[in-house]
């Protein structure tokens, strides 16, 4: 029974990890930006969800699309007004730029919101569906639904729509894409905005499962990075698989070698990179 | 689905750089903001003849930002209250107290560097402690090397005081006492617990607390069914909590920090882990514990260095715990946690020692600190040969219906322990 509970713990966590990884993967794969502000976007979304709940009493799952929309706009503005200015520079430039944004956002949040711990706590927060001795937290079950819906929608959008195709085209070859008339700046901004919206979904979900303060989100950059490496850069199913595998590895490392959890998790990461440099589901090309 | 171009290889290189930078910076790159201002005399007729500057690196950002903030507020209240009452008197002259803080970003190495800067560049007269054992341990070395005293209030591990250093003093009770009251309280209840599970963060302070708790639990006839260390600051603890649940302990103890105490309560509820009692070394005494967990904080107990319910009659500016509580609440708008009270007590100890020494000479003040023995609003302040205050007892607090009460020891308690905690399914 414990074993089943461990598997469930790992998988349920994994779906939230997948959402975090998905946004990170998109921006990295298409824009070649390692967005170190991703965790700060998650943080902003968590606070937005919290204030919508603590003030007007908006349920976090109702707030979810609103928060995603807000983060979408923020992401669009940041990419089109700031990052687009340095898109031609080396990857290290955007790396440092987003690192600076992360520091700025976290410290502004610390000033505005203080280091007080908060949690969006509707009546069902931390409450589980009990199946005999097995416990499935409702918010995490909600996260599974959100992760699956968002992943499917994103897949269809990129695969079936004209705008989606242009995003993929930019990911494959920027020069060729601009030659056939794709507006690069606008496509960059749109991609970054979608990624920020995904961070928004993750932030809303996380704000109900755990207590948070501005510094507590830093861990999610490393996590997103690991999920993408595990699953494979530039692959939507890869981000999903990466999240789930990361969740499971982390849970079982935590069960049998808790003190060495980080060692085990990152050893698995290195192993995957050695045996399969493109990650579990990553492929040269796309999809 | 997206992204495939020649720059993938360089992407990985950058990614490795990324991982290194993220790891090195811990995600929080706060500019070391110096705070602190020389407030002009507020004491009416008293004319100050000089300034005594106290410096401290404090974790104002990073994983212990909350605790660091409580520490700073404690120091500030001491500074403001002292200055409003004529400052510190040395040889008949009044000196105004000033403080200078740097943010160590919850990074012990950084705390040591900043302590060095405080001594060498800012020329502080004396050091106040940072937050946490790891940082305090590092700064104690800097204090010793420069022969500048440090009175600290937030590093309780005895490893700080076993180095043979002469210049570091801790006003708080040592780590091994943190769980003592909790265990004694638990075994005095009916139904009496027989088994205990202990989860501890893997840092020097928490491990000292947990090891002492394990020994004490065994002495009290409890069977330790699970003892597990987890990486410092880990807040994903469903795996060890699932293991804990499988062993069905009567008492669950955690030695760690605020963030983990919150995560443990949230995840224990999700997993249906329902021992008869939850006890924490750090967490329940901080207001955030209740404001975050709301009703789920009820029945949870924590070891505490100090509470406003204690009945000390101190020979200092604050006099009683109740008065300290009132002054603090008026100044900051929230009730003090013990982290703030002990920080204020560090300042109070300095004031007594400097006035006794009649000098600002660091060695003279150090010698006066070693001889201190007085009752303050925080309890007795007296240091043993190693520099730690083994003379002040600790208490146990519990959240009951949204209120924090003192439940142990019985002679200072203002409420009876609520035991056993009802299982989550029937709350």
Percent share of chain A, pLDDT over 90: 84
| Chain B stretch 256-285, residues whose beta carbon is closer than 8 A to a beta carbon of chain A | 258-259, 262-263, 266-267, 269-272
Strand-pair partners of A122:
none
Q: Which residues of B touch A215 (CB under 8 A)?
A: 27-28, 61-63, 65, 106
- Is the distance from CB of A183 to CB of A167 less than 8 angstroms? no
Q: Which positions ≥6 away from B12 have C-beta within 8 Å?
A: none
Res A232 pLDDT > 80: yes
pLDDT band at A234 (very low <50, low <70, confident <90, very high): confident
Q: Which residues of A touch B293 (CB under 8 A)?
A: 119, 211
pLDDT band at A119 (very low <50, low <70, confident <90, very high): very high
Q: Say yes or no for a CB contact (<8 Å) between A233 and B3.
A: yes
By CA distance, what is B60's nearest residue in A?
Answer: A115
Average pLDDT score over residue span B201-209: 94
Domains of chain B (ranges; CATH) run 50-173+309-382 (3.40.50.2300), 177-306+394-426 (3.40.50.2300)
Res B13 pLDDT > 80: no
Label residue A134 exposed, middle or buried (CB < 10 Å: 0-12, 13-18, 19+): middle
Res A79 pLDDT > 80: yes
Res A87 pLDDT > 50: yes
Q: pLDDT for B86-114, tens place per residue?
A: 999 999 999 999 999 999 999 999 999 99
What CATH architecture is A2-275? Orthogonal Bundle (1.10)
Percent share of chain B, pLDDT over 90: 84
Q: Strands across the sheet with B50-58, in order?
A: B88-90, B93-103, B50-58, B126-128, B150-152, B168-170
pLDDT for the residue A287? 41
pLDDT for the residue A235? 86
Q: pLDDT for A14-49, tens place per residue?
A: 999 999 999 999 999 999 999 999 999 999 999 999
pLDDT band at A283 (very low <50, low <70, confident <90, very high): low
pLDDT for the residue B2? 56
- Is the distance from CB of B375 to CB of B361 less than 8 angstroms? no
Q: Which residues of A touch B3 (CB under 8 A)?
A: 28-30, 32, 171-172, 233-234, 286
The DSSP string of B303-314 is EES--TT-----
Q: pLDDT for B235-282, tens place per residue?
A: 999 999 999 999 999 999 999 999 999 999 999 999 999 999 999 999
| HSE (side-chain half, CA atoms, 13 Å) at B300 | 27
Q: How many CB atoms lie within 10 A of CB B402?
A: 11
**Which segments of chain A does DSSP mark as H helices, in order?**
2-31, 38-54, 60-81, 91-113, 138-160, 162-172, 174-179, 184-209, 219-231, 236-256, 261-275
Residue with tokens 């009730």: B335
d(CA A16, CA A204): 10
Q: Mean pLDDT of all residues in chain B?
A: 90
Q: pLDDT for B332-368, tens place per residue?
A: 999 999 999 999 999 999 999 999 999 999 999 999 9
Answering whether pTM is above 0.90, one says no
Distance between B189 CA and the closest CA of chain A, angstroms: 28
pLDDT for the residue A284? 54
Q: How far are the Cα atoms of A27, A29, A272 from residue A94, in angstroms, in the given order?
A: 11, 14, 27
Q: Say yes or no for a CB contact (<8 Å) between A222 and B22.
A: yes
pLDDT for the residue A100? 96
Residue with tokens 């520099």: B387
Q: Say yes or no for a CB contact (<8 Å) between A255 and B235.
A: no
d(CA B208, CA B158): 8
Res B17 pLDDT > 60: no
Res B305 pLDDT > 50: yes
**Parallel, antiparallel or unpaired: strands B379-382 and B403-408:** unpaired
Q: Measured in whole angstroms, how far is the alpha carbon of residue B159 from the centre of its chain?
A: 16
Q: pLDDT for A141-186, tens place per residue?
A: 999 999 999 999 999 999 999 999 999 999 889 999 999 999 999 9
pLDDT for the residue B5? 45
pLDDT for the residue B51? 97
Res B196 pLDDT > 50: yes
| Domain ranges for chain A | 2-275
Cis before B420? omega within 30:
yes
Q: Say yes or no for a CB contact (<8 Å) between A234 and B2.
A: yes
- Is the distance from CB of A17 to CB of A220 less than 8 angstroms? no
pLDDT band at A210 (very low <50, low <70, confident <90, very high): confident
- Is the distance from CB of B385 to CB of B378 less than 8 angstroms? no
Q: Which tokens belong to B250? A: 């009567």
pLDDT for the residue A280? 86
Res B11 pLDDT > 50: no
Q: How many CB atoms lie within 10 A of CB B121?
A: 8
B217 compared with B41, residue with greater pLDDT: B217
Here the ipTM equals 0.88
């Amino acid at each position: 029974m414990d074993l089943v509970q461990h598997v469930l713990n790992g998988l349920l966590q994994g779906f939230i990890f997948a959402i975090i990884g998905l946004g990170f993967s998109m921006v990295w794969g298409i824009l070649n930006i390692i967005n170190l502000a991703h965790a700060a976007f998650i943080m902003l979304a968590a606070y937005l969800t919290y204030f919508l709940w603590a003030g007007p009493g908006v349920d976090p799952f109702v707030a979810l699309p609103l928060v995603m929309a807000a983060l979408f706009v923020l992401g669009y503005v940041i990419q089109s007004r700031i990052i687009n200015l340095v898109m031609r520079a080396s990857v290290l430039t955007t790396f440092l730029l987003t690192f600076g944004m992360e520091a700025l956002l976290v410290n502004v949040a610390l000033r505005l919101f203080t280091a007080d711990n908060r949690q969006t706590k509707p009546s069902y927060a931390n409450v589980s569906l009990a199946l005999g001795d097995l416990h499935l937290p409702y918010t995490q079950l909600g996260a599974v639904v959100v992760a699956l819906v968002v992943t499917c929608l994103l897949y269809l959008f990129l695969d079936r729509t004209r705008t989606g195709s242009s995003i993929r085209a930019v990911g494959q070859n920027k020069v060729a894409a601009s030659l056939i008339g794709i507006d690069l700046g606008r496509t960059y901004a749109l991609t970054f905005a979608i990624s920020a919206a995904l961070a928004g979904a993750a932030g809303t979900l996380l704000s109900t499962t755990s207590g948070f303060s501005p510094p507590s989100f830093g861990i999610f950059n490393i996590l997103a990075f690991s999920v993408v490496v595990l699953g494979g850069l530039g692959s939507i199913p890869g981000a999903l698989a990466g999240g789930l595998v990361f969740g499971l590895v982390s849970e079982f490392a935590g069960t049998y070698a808790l003190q060495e959890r980080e060692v085990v998790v990152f050893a698995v990461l290195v192993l995957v990179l050695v045996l399969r440099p493109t990650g579990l589901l990553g492929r040269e090309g796309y999809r | 689905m997206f992204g495939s171009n020649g720059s993938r290889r360089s992407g990985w290189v950058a990614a490795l750089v990324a991982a290194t930078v993220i790891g090195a910076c811990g995600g929080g790159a706060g500019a070391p903001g110096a705070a602190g201002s020389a407030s002009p005399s507020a004491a009416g007729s008293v004319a100050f003849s000089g300034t005594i500057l106290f410096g401290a690196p404090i974790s104002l950002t990073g994983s212990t930002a909350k605790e660091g903030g409580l520490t700073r507020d404690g120091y500030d209240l001491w500074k403001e209250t002292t200055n409003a009452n004529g400052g510190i008197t040395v040889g008949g002259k009044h000196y105004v107290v000033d403080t200078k803080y740097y943010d160590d970003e919850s990074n012990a190495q950084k705390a040591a560097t900043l302590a060095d800067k405080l001594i060498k560049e800012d020329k502080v007269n004396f050091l106040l402690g940072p937050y946490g054992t790891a940082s305090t341990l590092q700064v104690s070395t800097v204090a010793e090397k420069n022969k500048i005293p440090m009175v600290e209030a937030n590093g309780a591990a005895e490893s700080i005081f076993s180095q043979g250093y002469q210049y570091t003093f801790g006003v708080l009770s040592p780590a091994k006492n943190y769980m003592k009251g909790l265990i004694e309280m638990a075994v005095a209840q009916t139904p009496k617990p027989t088994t205990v599970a202990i989860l501890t963060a893997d840092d020097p302070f928490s491990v000292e607390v947990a090891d002492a708790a394990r020994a004490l639990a065994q002495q009290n006839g409890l069977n330790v069914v699970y003892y597990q260390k987890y990486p410092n600051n880990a807040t994903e603890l469903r795996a060890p909590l699932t293991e804990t649940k499988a062993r069905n302990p009567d008492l669950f103890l955690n030695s760690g920090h605020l963030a983990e105490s919150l995560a443990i309560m949230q995840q224990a509820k999700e997993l249906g882990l329902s021992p008869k009692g939850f006890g924490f070394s750090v967490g329940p005494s901080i207001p955030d514990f209740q404001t975050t967990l709301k009703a789920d904080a009820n029945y949870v107990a924590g070891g505490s260095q100090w509470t406003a319910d204690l009945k000390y009659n101190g020979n200092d500016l604050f006099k009683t715990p109740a008065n300290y509580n009132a002054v603090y609440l008026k100044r900051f708008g929230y009730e003090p946690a013990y982290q703030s009270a002990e920080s204020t007590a560090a300042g109070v100890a300095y004031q007594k020692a400097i006035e006794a020494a009649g000098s600002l000479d660091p060695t003279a003040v150090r010698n006066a600190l070693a001889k201190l023995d007085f009752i303050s609003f925080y309890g007795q302040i007296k240091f043993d040969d190693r520099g730690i205050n083994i003379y002040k007892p600790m208490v146990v607090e519990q959240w009951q219906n949204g209120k924090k009460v003192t439940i142990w020891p019985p002679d200072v308690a203002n409420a009876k322990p609520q035991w056993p905690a009802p299982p989550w399914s029937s709350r």
